[in-house]
Amino acid sequence: MLNEQLSKLMVEQVNKELYSAYLYLSMSNFYDEKGLKGIAFWFKTQAKEEYEHAIKFMDYLHDQNEKVTLSLIEAPKGDFSDLKEPLILQLNHEKFVTASINNIYKVATENNDYRSLKFLDWFIEEQAEEERVAQDLLEEFEHVSVDSRGIFEFSERAGARRK
């Protein structure tokens, strides 16, 4: 069994990871509907990773004999003002998730829960990677010429990176 607060935070993290998947699917739909299949594929792949993150937390909780009660997943933002907005929101959202993981890490530290800390190490590294990748994508977008060809090529490059 885990410390009660730690268990609660991890169950909440399952919801946050599933919300992340939902948010990125919404972004994927936005780009797909604009004919930008590459960047749509980027976000669809990202959504699958978020689903996997949720499963990792659920499996860990079950390995510790904890109960996981799933809760309502908030509807994500359904539309975006321009092609850049989802890229900004992705970076902000990853920073939010990093803060959430860091908080879980802090509680595990306070409880001298070395097993959970070892489990969480993977997420600490993953969040550094997720933020870096989101930052890179945003910076790359800022450097493309904002004509339809420039955008299309940016989208194709992003999609190719996830294949």
Interface ranges with ligand FEO (CB under 6 A): 17, 20, 50, 53, 94, 97, 130
Tokens of 18: 């599933």
Is the CB of 50 or the CB of 113 nearer to ligand FEO? 50
- Rounded to an integer, what is the distance from CA 110 to the centroid of its chain? 26
Minimum Å gap between C-beta 90 and ligand FEO is 9
DSSP classification of residue 74: P
Q: CA-CA distances (angstroms) from residue 61 to 101, 115, 126, 132? A: 15, 12, 19, 28
Is the CB of 53 or the CB of 151 nearer to ligand FEO? 53
Residue type, 97: V
Residue nearest to ligand FEO (CB): 53
Minimum Å gap between C-beta 35 and ligand FEO is 26
Is the CB of 17 or the CB of 113 nearer to ligand FEO? 17
